[in-house]
Every structure is written in C-alpha cells, then in structure tokens.
Amino acid sequence: MFNKIPKSVAIPSLIVFLITAYLLFNPFIFRDINTIIYPRHINDLQTARNYYQILSSVLTILFSIVGLILGYFYYINKIETDANNAKRERIRKRLDSLIAELNEYDDLVNTISCLNVKDKGELKFIRNKINRSSEQISSQLEQGDTLFGLSKDEIKTIIRIHSFVEQNPFLMEVDYDELIKSDQSLIWIIKNDYTERMQEARRICYCKLE
Amino acid sequence: MEIDVGKDFYHRLANRDSHQGDGKFTAIDFRNRFLKSLDNENAWLTDTEPIVLDFANVKKIGPSFANEAFAYFTKYASPEKLSKKIVFKNATRVQRMIIQEELETGHKRV
C-alpha cells in the first residue's frame, strides 16, 4: 500500500519520528552524562507536566500534517492500484474471449483434418465458419492489440495460424471427394504442423493471463 | 497512381483464385487489373511512382489473397523494395501484418 511513498516524504517522516522519540525521552536521557546536550532541567512535576503538554500540542499538529501527507499518497496510490486492477480485468476478459475464439477455430480445423465431415455442404459450411472465425480473431487483435499487451511477433504468431490453414489446399480448397481420399500420412503431417502453431498461439495467450 | 481498393475492387479480399471461396474478386483478378504493370523484371529496375493502394474501405484481407496479389512479386524484388513500389495506405495494423507476413514468406504457388 505504501510501497510508492517517495523518498521526499519517507525521509522527513523518519526524521519527525526520531525527533519525536528524542523529545519524548529527552527528560530521562543524558541527565547524568552531559548536561550540555540536555536542554532543560525538569526538577518537579509541574515543569514535567508543562513540558509534555507543550510537546503534546506540537506533536499533534506535526502528526496531523504527516497524516494528511501520507493520506494523500495513500489516496493517489489507491486510485493507481484500482486503475491497474481494472486494466488487468479488461485484459483478462479480452484474452478469455480470444482464447474462446481460438478454441472454436481449432475445433473447426480439427473437424476437417480428422475427416469428420459428412458431405460437400458441411465441408463448405465449416470452411466458411473457419474464415469467419479468423476474421473474428483478426478484429479482436485489431481492437485490443495494445490492451492485450501482445508484441508484434506474438500477434504475428497468431496470424500465421490462419495463413497456414487458408493456404493449405487440403484444409481449405480440395473438394469433398478428394479430401476423403487424401493420403493419411500427409494429413498427419499437416495436423502436426497446425497443432504446433495453435499450441504456440495458446501459450502466448495463457502467458498474458499471468 | 492511387486505387481505392474497397470501392474500385471489393471490400473483402479473401479469395486467391477461382477455386477458393465463392471464386469471385480473386487476388489474380486484382493483380491483373491493378498491378499488371509490375509483372515484368524491367518494372523493378527503374524508379517509378509507387502504386498506392488505399485500404480505408477494405474490411478484410486474407493471407492467401495477400500472398497471390502481393507476395507474387517477390520473384522480382525483396519485400523492402516491394513495399516502396506498392504502398499500402490506411491499412490497419493487423492488415499490414498479414501482408508483411506473406511478403516475408514469399509466393507459395507457381
């Protein structure tokens, strides 16, 4: 809470504390050692009462001022902390949304790469959804690149997923009959390559979640 | 020369060729229509006025479109030189990244 108190406040506060401690214990210290550094002689209760009464009044004013200064910095610090928390929450929500969209995209690509497609119509429908999903991811990155705190390279890593998928004829171009008859080893290679890219994109998002 | 891509061509730049998507407004059509003058080696040897492509009205650009329309020219010049001949005006940050990514990876089909 007070971790951001500037030295200009912390040092005077420490000095005030030391002076206060000195003044409080002054009558009891050095009495028999050196009378020069002992400024006043308290020989009776009345003198002591007067001394502490004056000391109390002075310290009350002094502490009030110090309290006000510390309160001011606490207030400033609190506003900053609240703003940081709100920003963190916004980042988390946007990242959650981005991760959900990446998951949706992944499911759709997996449907094709696992050949879990019934007919031509469904294949066209899924490819269309993949394109829509990639647009959604792009627009999210567009709106929130600074808020996500993603670097240029990290955004590129996410963009590369669709670049890979869209330019892969097997995933996005060949017709249904050709897709079903495709070489399984080729599918396996494409799947592995794609999965690595998607995992990397997810890792980036999860890292930003903290 | 300045081209308002969204108005003069189409606002969704998605299809590489007639085999992709609905097969309309393809990158090959775009290249032949607006960038034909750059499709020869001599065009890259001389310093001419850049072709300015205004993306203000473009809603989407797909990687395969960018690859076929722009990365196609990486056979003539480096991405840096290409970016001087073809200027992408008003493209969003992500659109620029998509184009740049394709220019860096190069043309993927012959």
Is B45 near chain A, with CB under 8 Å? no
B92 contacts A142? CB cut-off 8 A? yes
- In order along its 210 residues, chain A shows pLDDT tens digits of 555 666 777 787 788 788 888 877 777 665 555 454 445 556 677 777 888 888 888 889 888 988 898 889 889 989 999 999 998 888 888 889 999 999 999 999 999 998 889 999 999 999 999 999 998 998 888 876 566 778 888 899 999 999 999 888 888 888 899 888 888 888 889 999 999 999 999 999 998 876
Coil, strand, or helix at residue B2?
strand
Q: Which residues numbered 72-101 in B keep a CB inside 8 Å of some CB on A?
A: 92-94, 97-98, 101
CB A185 within 8 A of CB A71: no
Residue A178 Cα to chain centre, angstroms: 48
CA A159 to CA A164: how far, in whole Å? 9
B97 contacts A167? CB cut-off 8 A? no
B92 contacts A167? CB cut-off 8 A? no
> Which pair of structure tokens corresponds to residue B20?
């992709």
Q: Give me the sign of the Cα torsion angle B74, B80, B84, B86.
A: positive
Q: Is the ipTM of this complex over 0.85?
A: no
Chain position carrying tokens 């003058």:
B37
DSSP state of B49: P
User: What are the extents of the domains in chain B?
Assistant: 2-105
CB B93 within 8 A of CB A159: no
Q: Output the pLDDT for position B109.
A: 65
Is A124 near chain B, with CB under 8 Å? no
Which residue of B64, B102, B105, B107 is the best one to mutate when testing the A interface, meaning the one whose CB has the most A CBs within 10 A? B64
Chain A nearest-CA distance from B93, in A, is 7
Per residue in B35-91, pLDDT tens? 999 999 888 988 888 999 999 999 999 999 999 999 999 999 999 999 889 999 999
Nearest CA to B16 among B61, B71, B64? B64
CB B15 within 8 A of CB A127: no
CA A68 to CA B105: how far, in whole Å? 61
